[in-house]
Amino acid sequence: MIKPHYPHPLIAREGWPFLAASVALALVASFWSPGWSVPLWVIALFVLQFFRDPPRTGSSELRAVLAPADGRIVVVQEAWDPYAQRNALKISVFMNVFNVHSNRSPVDGEVLGVEYFAGKFFNAALDKASLENERNAMVLRTPAGHIVTAVQVAGLVAKRILCYAKTGDILSRGQRYGFIRFGSRVDVYLPPGSRPRVAIGDKVSATTTVLADLPEAIS
């Protein structure tokens, strides 16, 4: 089992300002009127659960592609990868507001490119969200030469995509590389011949769940 590098606490650093502000407001309200503070404490608890970011372990199988995020599988189909310009197997993970929103690399690989696209904010569960919503695409090349694309897609209420990977970086499977605030989706495009190990409707956990196996031969 792999144990990804985890250089941060159990609460995502992206959530610290939101958590601090919500707790501060709840504390002030508690001194002023304990009864009126209850909704603010509920909001603080919601912010806490949204930005939780537990460490994960995953498969060490050489050809395993790991889930890049927590959520539910909404797409498993052949599709055109517009970022690597090739036919691919597309697997999409939809995250609701109760899922962990930290994004992790699905494979070991070198980052060949990262590209941001401004867009709309449709419900991330919809197919059109893949190409019309705000998104950030990262193309990776594995040590065996396979090309894998991971695309962070903003959702209906998501307002910021964060990606820390840069061209030339070397990522490990399960390594944290980004975050999407408040609802989102991640699309993974895999080489033709990849074998899916999930189906539409399955619930998956980042790093822990194997999405697919890469083909033995490079196509």
DSSP strand pairing (147-154 vs 135-141)? antiparallel
β-pair partners for 120: 133
**Which one of the listed residues 22, 37, 130, 184 is annotated catalytic?**
184
DSSP single-letter state for residue 218: -
Strand order of the β-sheet with 161-163 is 102-104, 176-180, 161-163
Single-letter code of the amino acid located at 111: V
The dihedral over CA atoms of 174, 53, 206, 113, expressed in degrees to the nearest 10, equals -50
**Count of Cβ atoms closer than 10 Å to residue 190 Cβ:** 25
Distance, CA of 56 to CA of 151 (rounded, Å): 21
To the query of whether residue 30 is one of the catalytic residues in this protein, the response is no
Given a contact cutoff of 8 angstroms between Cβ atoms, the answer to whether 114 and 137 are in contact is: yes
For 19, phi then psi, to 5°, come to -70, -45
Count the neighbouring beta carbons within 10 Å of the beta carbon of residue 90: 20
Q: How far apart are CA 121 and CA 198, in angstroms?
A: 27
Q: Is 29 helix (H, G, I), strand (E, B) or coil?
A: helix
Residue positions annotated with a catalytic role: 184
